[in-house]
Amino acid sequence: MQLGMLTACLPQWTLDRIAGWAAQAGYEALEVAVWPGTGGRDFEAAHLPVADFGPREADETLALFDKHGLALSAFAYYENNLHPDPVRREEIRTHLKHAIDAAQALGVPYVGTFVGRDWTKPVADNLAEAERVFPELVEYAGERDVKIIVENCVMEGWHPDGYPGNLAYSPELWEWMFDLGLYLNWDPSHLTWIGIDPVETIAPYVDRIVHAQAKDVELDAAARQRYGFFGKVDKGGNPWDMGWWRYRVPGLGQVDWARVVDRLYEHGFTGTLSVEHEDPVWGGDGERITQGLNIAHRTLRPLIVG
């Protein structure tokens, strides 16, 4: 197992700057954000130009990672592959293929995305649509020796009523998507707030957990008494504000990282545990964000065998 970090938390930094900082801070790998450009969400970062990626870009990227002694664990392009707007859906499909092509050029084994959801249709219709959409993408990736990995994020902010916007949030849905040839970028924070013990999900699915994200979550039981499990109705213009929980960097929330890492080791996980920093307390400018990443490193580094 190696300790990495997702670059999306530093959208204004260059990949070279991130790599230099990460290596100095003791991280071993980068999960590189490859959105086509910064967008409506803070974590949409463009750290590699995968849509225009040729031999020169590949050589420069490999030299950069070699210079800093870092591995490139995965690409991150977490978008809605079932978007209701057909034009937007095709844009996402095209860029995902660009990411897969660039991954092949660099020998990156995984490209991360979301199943997503058409929020205008019921779940059953979405599952049927995914069964039409994903086999072609999985085949495209497989021909290039790349696996598509899906994070089990609920993405409730994508749905107008705050319901799940990414149909990959529970083990029931994992089993369905594994049949489509997809793999899991496992994140315990999302499981925790929806009432699933993340530790208990490792053993049954470890053969499909090929990459993992380290993000924590802080729960406020008193606030949940007011809003209920489904969160605020009046979100004040922020669709991601549930009112009774928030993401934290590892060590500052409810996830038991000693148990998580121990169970991953017990069941043979040998991939990258990649810190995904979305902590509002340690957000803001680069200095504040890197302080949060340092907290995460201090929490996790003693648990990972060197």
Give the chain's residues under pLDDT 70. Answer: 38-43, 306
CATH of residue 151: 3.20.20.150
Q: How far apart (Å, rounded) are the C-alpha atoms in residues 253 and 238? A: 22
Q: In this structure, what token pair is assigned to residue 123? A: 């779940």
Place of tokens 């302080």: 291
CB atoms within 10 A of CB 50: 26
Q: How far apart (Å, rounded) are the C-alpha atoms in residues 190 and 180? A: 22
The domain in which residue 130 lies consists of 2-303
How confident is the model at residue 41, as a pLDDT? 53
How confident is the model at residue 266, as a pLDDT? 98
4 backbone dihedrals φ, ψ, rounded to 5°:
-125, -175
Under a CB-based contact definition with an 8 Å cutoff, are residues 283 and 247 in contact?
no
How confident is the model at residue 44, as a pLDDT? 76
Under a CB-based contact definition with an 8 Å cutoff, are residues 45 and 7 in contact?
yes
186 backbone dihedrals φ, ψ, rounded to 5°:
-75, 130
How confident is the model at residue 122, as a pLDDT? 97
Number of domains composing the chain: 1
35 backbone dihedrals φ, ψ, rounded to 5°:
-60, 155
Q: How far apart (Å, rounded) are the C-alpha atoms in residues 185 and 209? A: 6
